[in-house]
Amino acid sequence: MFFARSQSIIIGTPMTEKYSISRQKAELAFSHIQTQFFAKEKALEELDSIAQSRDAKTLRLREARLAKELSDRTAATSALLAKRARAL
């Protein structure tokens, strides 16, 4: 635990404390950079989410297509066998 030895030491800065002009400019510049950083991070997260949903949809559609192709092949084979059986 940290205890201040003097009453003049203040941990943290209250919201009403005034900063120098250069400090205010630095804080503002940092705020803009930080905002841009978080905006880029959010955009990347959105792109990743879109890519994941696209990949999931592609996988689902591929599985459906393969199942339909297998079903069609099975039906065609059955029809061909039935046709041959009738011909004999």
Instruction: Give the domain range for residue 56.
Output: 28-87
Which pLDDT value is given to residue 5?
52
Q: Does 12 fall in a domain?
A: no
The letter for the amino acid at 52 is: Q
Look at residue 37 in the predicted model and tell me its pLDDT: 85
- Does any domain span residue 8? no
Look at residue 38 in the predicted model and tell me its pLDDT: 87
pLDDT surpassing 50 at residue 1: no
Q: Is residue 66 part of a domain?
A: yes
Q: How many domains does one find in the chain?
A: 1
Please indicate, yes or no, if residue 62 is contained in any of the structural domains.
yes
- Asked if residue 47 lies in contact with residue 41, where contact means CB atoms within 8 angstroms, the answer is no
Is the pLDDT at 88 greater than 80? The verdict is no
- pLDDT tens profile 33-79: 888 888 889 999 999 999 999 999 999 999 999 999 999 999 999 99
Q: Does residue 13 sit within a domain?
A: no
As a three-state string, the secondary structure of 4-37 is CCCCCCCCCCCCCCCCCHHHHHHHHHHHHHHHHH
Q: Report yes or no: 19 and 27 within 8 Å, Cβ to Cβ.
A: yes
